[in-house]
DNA sequence: TTGAAAGCGCTAACAT
DNA sequence: ATGTTAGCGCTTTCAA
């Protein structure tokens, strides 16, 4: 079938070992033989079979990436950061998505380890006490979390709690005192919980009441009617909304718009993610910006370090508040009382 | 190091062949022995080395995906469609990005073939006369283009030209007669050229003048000043803009907004891509919708068909016009003459 | 039903 | 500087 190292060796009149060396350690072979080999390689358009090499060597130069999906631009941006920086170091990337499903996470990790990836970059639903992660830690295969901000595992992430707190502070600073949080499924994402804690921090330090967050199944493309009702009712609605992620913020903004609620005139909104695309909107989405591409790149840098034998390490990347169009100061309404 | 099939065989008191069979063709092994093997597998937490299997078998159950990037949600959405449907069939996906660079395309294809992927799904800058694609066609490795709408290669794509034409017709139908096209680098994308042709078709059939398209380096995050100047000048600006892709549409919308030009009051805009996110904007982006996720899924379906020995095939997926908020009817201005 | 043995294509000692 | 050879872990004839 495909031409192998043997064909090349035969044509070049050398042994297969020489072919291998000519290709991998050219310095170790006499220029004239090297040329003969390279000519043969060219003539046969020989493409070394990486499987053979990978099976034989310790390194595969393959890394596995496990993400909830790559439909959400957050993960697309991050994946871009991972792929392009890994490519620079000559590593290839295998991607598996989990749709926030624990059993799919397990399956992905298992498959990737079977493929003998050199390392793993992953976002899991819940990092704390994740059995697979602990197993990974023991297995000796380097790994790096992204987005999961965990004290016990190497990760590259923003500090979700502080970041969320800063986002909510922006709303507080604009005079809002009835701030609700809208989030994806809290049970399916430790980040969502951390961000809710940040919300509570900010609301608490302002002397306001932390309300129970409104949970939305993240796979929904539309806002459930009862939630919309809650948000659209002028007599009862919050003056500001903090959303656990940008996609959710966009979905709710659309729903509100369709219900005749104006953003930010009637209600202010702050998202979380810093989607590049959010900045292009009208009005631009106020959000807690996290450097998604850099998060991916940082994760790779850390992972590469571990692959090179350095101890595992984490990065808490800086977040930034994009105080943009969807936040407006609260216009005091003498008829409404802002205190609980 | 890692436990191998030998360890399992030893513990189960069988030969490695039996272990292999117990795992791959359980029917061919006596239940009692199979159980012994499975217990041993469990006890040693044996993870079969896919590299060994892949090297030995004809199939690797690996596919390669080559995309310009995965930062642009178009490709993220498509990648999602590919990955999740391939996963269902038990295939793993290796992703390489090219940043629209021909040499990186070549490198990606080469690497992926070295990895002995069973097939390839790719978007290239220019499909027609692409040397690597012709080589691929000969090599016997199945492949499927996405987004490249090519007559001579198996592909899954919308009909870029007709789709663009329909998008521009929307503008024509709203009374616009000074319609400009804004596009990424024409030289770096055959789709961009096809879409420009569609623009010319629609403009031509309306008896209007097809103008030279405004090209923008796609990697820019901002609109070059001279282009903005051209678009913002009230005495000279077009009444409508057709953008070769949604990201570009969003970028130009932002720039126009900052320059005080209102969309769609002062200028109407139609994009191309149908980004899910575009629908969530205010106003929602009018665009030529293409079913990105389905494009990915369709490409996989075709590829799988080819892998199963059926002849290569293509899908032209239906596009749809999302006649949304960024298009407004032209309000006739008696002072301005709409004829060339 | 099971085992022995031959390789898949490659790298890396070791020998020359 | 080059060749010989022994595997890497697995699947798959072929025999038993």
Q: What is the 3-state secondary structure (H, E, C) of chain A?
A: CCCCHHHHHHHHCCCHHHHHHHHHCHHHCCHHHHHHHHHHHHHCCCCCCHHHHHHHCCCCCEEEEEECCCCCHHHHHHHHHHHHHHHHCCCEEEEEECCCCHHHHHHHHHHHHHCCCCEEEECCCCCCCCHHHHHHHHHCCCEEEECCCCCCCCEEEECHHHHHHHHHHHHHHCCCCCEEEEECCHHHCHHHHHHHHHHHHHHHHCCCCCCCCEECCCCCCCCCHHHHHHHHCCCCCCCEEEECCHHHHHHHHHHHHHCCCCCCCCCEEEEEECCHHHHHCCCCCCEEECCHHHHHHHHHHHHHHHHCCCCCCCEEECCEEECCCCCCCCCCCCCCCCCC
- Band of pLDDT at residue A218, cut at 50, 70 and 90: low
Q: How large is the average pLDDT for residues A259-263?
A: 92
pLDDT at A338 over 60: no
**CA distance, residue A69 to nearest chain B CA (Å):** 7
Q: Token digits for A324?
A: 């943009």
What per-residue confidence (pLDDT) applies to B338? Answer: 52
- Quote the pLDDT of residue B218: 63
CA of B49 to nearest chain A CA: how many angstroms apart? 5
Residue B306 CB lies within 7 Å of the nucleic strand D: no
What pLDDT was estimated at residue B332?
62
What pTM was estimated for this model as a whole? 0.95
**Max Cα-Cα span within chain A:** 94
Give the nearest chain A residue to B84 (CA atoms).
A97
Q: Which of residues 299-338 of B touch A (CB under 8 A)?
A: none
User: Do B281 and A284 count as a contact with CB atoms less than 8 A apart?
Assistant: no
pLDDT in tens, chain B (340 residues): 689 999 999 999 999 999 999 999 999 999 999 999 999 999 999 999 999 999 999 899 999 999 999 999 999 999 999 999 999 999 999 999 999 999 999 999 999 999 999 999 999 999 998 999 998 988 889 999 999 999 999 999 999 999 999 999 999 999 999 999 999 999 989 999 999 999 999 999 999 999 999 999 866 678 888 899 999 888 889 999 999 999 999 999 989 988 999 999 999 999 999 998 888 887 889 999 999 999 999 999 999 999 999 999 999 999 999 997 899 998 765 444 454 4
Angle at A95 between CA A156 and CA A279, to 5 degrees: 55
Per-residue burial over A41-63, b = 16 or more CB atoms within 10 Å of its CB, e = otherwise: beebebbbbbbebbbeeeebbbb
Chain B interface mutation, best of A73, A75, A260, highest count of B Cβ atoms under 10 Å: A73
Nearest CB to B70: which of A79, A116, A282?
A: A79
Q: How many H helices and E strands in chain B?
A: 12, 12
CA of B280: how far to CAs of A22, A221, A249, A253, A256, in Å?
Answer: 56, 10, 9, 7, 11
Q: Is the CB of A16 under 7 A from strand D?
A: yes
Number of CB pairs, chain A paired with chain B, less than 8 A apart: 144
pLDDT tier, A111 (very low <50, low <70, confident <90, very high otherwise):
very high
CB contact under 8 A, B277 and A247: yes
Q: Which residue is nearest to nucleotide D7 (CA to C1')?
A: A56
Cβ contact, residue pair B73, A69, below 8 Å: no
d(CA B229, CA B224): 9
> Which helix H or strand E contains B242, and what residues bound it?
strand B240-243
Q: Give strand C nucleotides closer than 7 A to any protein Cβ.
A: 1-5, 7-13
Decide: B147 and B172 in contact? Cβ < 8 Å. no
- A75 to chain B nearest CA, in Å? 9
> A22-75 pLDDT, tens per residue?
999 999 999 999 999 999 999 999 999 999 999 999 899 999 999 999 999 999
Q: How far is CA A291 from CA A60, B65, B222, in A?
A: 29, 25, 18
Q: Are strands B143-146 and B155-157 parallel, antiparallel or unpaired?
A: parallel
pLDDT of residue A336: 47
Distance from CA of A116 to the nearest CA of B (A): 7
Q: Which chain A residues have a beta carbon less than 8 Å from that of B293? A: 71
> Is residue B259 less than 8 Å (CB to CB) from chain A?
no
Give strand D nucleotides closer than 7 A to any protein Cβ.
1-5, 7-13
Rounded Cα–Cα distance for residues B301 and A269 (Å): 41
Instruction: Report the residue of chain A nearest B99, measured CA to CA.
Output: A84
Measured CA to C1', the nucleotide nearest A17 is D3
Which among A114, A276, A282 is the nearest to B253, CB-wise?
A: A282
Contact B70, A79 (CB under 8 A): yes
Q: Is the pLDDT of residue A340 over 60?
A: no
Domains and CATH numbers, chain B: 1-46 (1.10.260.40), 160-291 (3.40.50.2300)
Distance CA A18 to C1' C11 in A: 11
pLDDT of residue B220: 61
Stretch A153-179: mean pLDDT, rounded?
A: 97
The minimal CB distance from B47 to the residues A69, A73, A113 is found for A113
Q: How far is the CA of A47 from the C1' of D8 (A)?
A: 20
Rounded Cα gap, residues A7 and A11, in angstroms = 6
Nucleic acid strand D within 7 Å of B61 CB: no
Contacts of B185 (CB under 8 A, 6+ apart): B100, B192, B215, B216, B217, B218
**Token pair listed for A99:** 């749709």
CB contact, 8 Å: B30 with chain A?
Answer: no
**Calpha distance B108→B175 (Å, rounded):** 46
Which single residue is written with the structure tokens 């940040």?
A198
Which residues, in sequence order, are CB contacts of B115 under 8 Å at separation 6+? A50, A51, A92, B60, B62, B64, B94
Report residue A6 as tokens.
């043997």
- The residue among B116, B52, B59, B55 whose CA lies nearest residue B90 is B59
B95 and A95 within 8 Å at the Cβ level: the answer is yes
Report the pLDDT value the prediction gives residue B204, as an integer from 0 to 100: 97
Spacing of B121 CA from C5 C1' in Å? 39
Tell me: pLDDT of A282 over 90: no
Distance CA B295, CA B228 (A): 33
The DSSP symbol for B92 reads: E
The answer to whether B19 and B29 have CB atoms below 8 angstroms apart is no
């Amino acid at each position: 079938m495909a031409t192998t190292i043997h064909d090349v060796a035969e044509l070049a009149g050398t042994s297969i070992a020489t072919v291998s060396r000519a290709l991998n350690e050219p310095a170790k072979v006499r220029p004239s033989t090297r040329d003969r080999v390279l000519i043969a390689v060219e003539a046969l358009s020989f493409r070394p079979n990486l499987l053979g090499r990978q099976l034989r060597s310790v390194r595969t130069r393959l890394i596995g990436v496990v993400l909830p999906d790559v439909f959400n631009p957050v993960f697309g941006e991050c994946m871009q950061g991972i792929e392009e920086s890994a490519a620079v170091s000559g590593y290839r990337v295998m991607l598996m998505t989990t749709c926030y499903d624990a059993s799919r996470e397990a399956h992905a990790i298992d498959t990737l380890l079977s493929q003998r990836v050199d390392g793993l970059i992953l976002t899991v639903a819940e990092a704390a006490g994740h059995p697979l992660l602990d197993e990974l830690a023991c297995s000796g295969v380097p790994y790096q979390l992204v987005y999961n901000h965990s004290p016990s595992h190497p990760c590259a992430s923003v500090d979700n709690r502080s970041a969320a707190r800063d986002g909510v502070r922006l709303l507080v600073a604009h005079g809002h005192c009835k701030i609700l949080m809208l989030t994806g499924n809290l049970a399916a994402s430790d980040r969502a919980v951390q961000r809710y804690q940040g919300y509570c921090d900010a609301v608490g330090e302002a002397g306001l009441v932390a309300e129970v967050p409104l949970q939305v199944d993240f796979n929904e493309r539309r806002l459930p009617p009862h939630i919309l009702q809650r948000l659209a009712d002028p007599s009862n609605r919050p003056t500001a909304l903090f959303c656990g992620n940008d996609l959710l913020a966009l979905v709710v903004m659309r729903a509100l718009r369709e219900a005749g609620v104006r953003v930010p005139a009637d209600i202010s909104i702050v998202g979380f993610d810093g989607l590049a695309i959010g900045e292009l909107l009208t009005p631009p989405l106020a959000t807690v910006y996290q450097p998604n591409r850099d998060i991916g790149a940082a994760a790779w840098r850390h992972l590469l370090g571990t692959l090179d034998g350095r101890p595992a390490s984490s990065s808490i990347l800086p977040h930034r508040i994009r105080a943009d169009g969807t936040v407006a100061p609260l216009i005091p309404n003498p008829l409404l009382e802002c205190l609980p």
